[in-house]
Amino acid sequence: MQTTSAPLATIASLAAHEGQTITLRGWLYNLRASGKLLFPIFRDGTGTIQGIVPKAAVSEEVFETLKNLTLESSLIVTGKVRADARAPSGFELDVEGVEVIQKVPEDTPFPIQLKEAGVDFLMEHRHLWLRTPRQSAILRVRATIMRAAAEYFDTNGFTRTDPPILTPNACEGTSELFEMDYFDDDKAYLTQSGQLYIEATALALGKVYSFGPTFRAEKSKTRRHLTEFWMIEPEVAFLELEGLLELAEGFITHIVTTVLAQHRSDLKVIGRDTEKLEAVVAPTPTTNNSSVILSEAQSAQSKDPEGSGPANAAPNLSATKPASGAANKFPRLSYDEAHAMLEDAFAKGLIETRHKDGDDFGSPDETYISSQFDKPVMIHRYPSAIKAFYMQPDPIDPSRALCVDVLAPEGYGEIIGGSQRVDSYDLLKSRIEAHDLPLAAFQWYLDLRKYGSVPHSGFGMGIERAVAWICGLDHVRETIPFARTLNRIYP
């Protein structure tokens, strides 16, 4: 077998090798046989292609080797690339030679079947499940989402400053944190957010972001929760809430645009309806929709360039607009407007439980609200009482926090949570005390308000929820190579 004489190629690049004899290195994904004609399907990590092996066209050895080969055996195959209308990808491989690297034993066949399988079984075999085309496609899209997210900040003047993963204590209690011994008598906790630390780096560097894993020991068992997940968090000095909303719009728009540009075929394998994603990044039409008018009024305020003081002097934020110049506005609702929408829906019998004014929104509430729009919806100014201690009160109504939750469309729920931060030393100190948090542990955080405090804002986006939404998945466990959930830490 002269399998190494032909040039190496990947399946994804076969269109460029039509008519040539090439070598592929990969695995046997499936095998069909029809008498003296074999149809092996090869995969190599970049895609799959069907090979054609007529008994009369190859040596007895090659035919028998392939005929008896087991699924997921590793191999090197040589063949000629030929366009064929019958092939899903448009190309087939006329096999000329094959070299088996390792044959999967017949008595221990590859456990992941092409037919249906249950969640428990698949998760128990996650290390092998990853080989299936759909799972591979999801991981490729995830990689692009992570790259595009970092790229958006990298090209807009942000400096990446990653916070520690081991932290001395919680920012909001320790019950949701993973605890571990830290030498002698100390305890350490796995971070649940780098926010407090990047507030410090933002005041050092202006515009910063962090990107890394975070951990929550919440006993949540839902399609939206992992105990270990990745979060990307920007934090910007001299940025107020309205600017933060624009930042989130530009950020999400860039990510979705990039995925649509680079992963059409992967999204097709995953089964994603890309029209829903096109709608997200479509330039905002001028309409009479009240929430759009509201958002334009607000952004007009915040865009006032040298206007009302240092608070609006966020540097270069115009650079975060889409390069095309076309504005992509997401609908914006205040907490009160969202509550009114839910009241209306309850009155019409569209939701089962009535939302109580002053309470946070539940999952069914978020699902209803986001289903009213084809773009992500931004809900701002929640009651301070149900939000974190570090959120700046709205000067117009101090009972409201200058915060925002971004809900993904199609019922995917919250993917971004952010706020303008308290910048007054005295207010922050009283908030820490009111929340019964240990003042000593927050001394460094209070220092940030003592030495040149400025208005500043930031948000965090959970990568897995964003991937689940963009890929149209029904559970975040498929968005990360090895999901960590309440009941599973294997493999």
Partner RNA sequence: UCCUGAGUAGCUCAAUGGCAGAGCAUUCGGCUGUUAACCGAAGGGUUGUAGGUUCGAGUCCUACCUCAGGAGCCA
Residues 28-87 that bind RNA (CB under 7 A): 30, 32-37, 39, 50, 52, 54-56, 70-71, 84, 86-87
* Complex with RNA: residue 171 or 239, whichever CB lies closer: 171
What is the DSSP track for 85-102? TTSTTSEEEEEEEEEEEE
Which of 89, 65, 84 lies closest to 76, judged by CA? 65
Instruction: Give the three-class secondary structure for 82.
Output: strand
* Complex with RNA: residue 432 or 461, whichever CB lies closer: 461
Site string for RNA, 370-399 (x = CB under 7 A): ----------------x-------------
User: Is-contact 410 372, C-beta < 8 A?
Assistant: no
H helices present in 163-219, as ranges: 195-205
Angle between helices 463-471 and 133-154 (to 10 degrees): 120
- Contact with RNA (CB under 7 A) among 267, 415, 428, 470: 415
Whether the ω angle into residue 491 lies within 30 degrees of 0, i.e. cis, is yes
- Contact with RNA (CB under 7 A) among 19, 60, 115, 396: 115
| Structural element, H or E, at residue 293 | helix 290-303
- Contact with RNA (CB under 7 A) among 213, 315, 364, 472: 364
Report the alpha-carbon distance of residue 413 to residue 365 in Å, rounded: 9
* Contact call for residue 117 and RNA (CB under 7 A): yes
Go through the chain and tell me how many residues it has. Answer: 491
Q: How far is the CB of 129 from RNA (least distance, A)?
A: 11
Q: How far is the CB of 361 from RNA (least distance, A)?
A: 8
- Contact with RNA (CB under 7 A) among 157, 212, 213, 362: 362
Q: Point out which span in 15-23, 182-190, 222-230, 339-347 binds RNA (CB under 7 A).
A: 222-230
DSSP state of 383: B
Please report, as residue ranges, which positions from 431 to 490 form the binding site for RNA (by CB under 7 A). Answer: 460-462, 464-465, 475-477, 485-488
Which of 302, 289, 473, 458 lies closest to 375, judged by CA? 289
Please report, as residue ranges, which positions from 270 to 299 form the binding site for RNA (by CB under 7 A). Answer: none
Q: How far is the CB of 48 from RNA (least distance, A)?
A: 10
Q: How far is the CB of 352 from RNA (least distance, A)?
A: 11
Please report, as residue ranges, which positions from 305 to 344 form the binding site for RNA (by CB under 7 A). Answer: none
Please report, as residue ranges, which positions from 87 to 106 form the binding site for RNA (by CB under 7 A). Answer: 87-88, 92, 106
* Complex with RNA: residue 176 or 296, whichever CB lies closer: 176
* Complex with RNA: residue 231 or 245, whichever CB lies closer: 231
Report the alpha-carbon distance of residue 75 to residue 98 in Å, rounded: 7
Q: How far is the CB of 370 from RNA (least distance, A)?
A: 12
- Contact with RNA (CB under 7 A) among 27, 229, 238, 330: 229
User: Is-contact 160 474, C-beta < 8 A?
Assistant: no
Q: How far is the CB of 85 from RNA (least distance, A)?
A: 9
- Contact with RNA (CB under 7 A) among 95, 188, 231, 241: 231
User: Is-contact 422 445, C-beta < 8 A?
Assistant: no
Q: How far is the CB of 96 from RNA (least distance, A)?
A: 14
Q: How far is the CB of 227 from RNA (least distance, A)?
A: 7
Q: Point out which span in 158-166, 213-221, 324-332, 333-341 binds RNA (CB under 7 A).
A: 213-221
Q: How many residues bind to RNA according to rule CB under 7 A?
A: 72
- Contact with RNA (CB under 7 A) among 18, 61, 64, 120: 120
Report the alpha-carbon distance of residue 343 to residue 356 in Å, rounded: 9
Q: How far is the CB of 459 from RNA (least distance, A)?
A: 8
Distant-in-sequence contacts of 107-116, Cβ < 8 A, 24+ apart: 109/70, 109/71, 110/70, 110/71, 110/72, 114/30
Torsional sign, CA 58, 2, 8, 19: negative
Report the alpha-carbon distance of residue 119 to residue 433 in Å, rounded: 45
Please report, as residue ranges, which positions from 124 to 183 form the binding site for RNA (by CB under 7 A). Answer: 176
DSSP state of 12: G
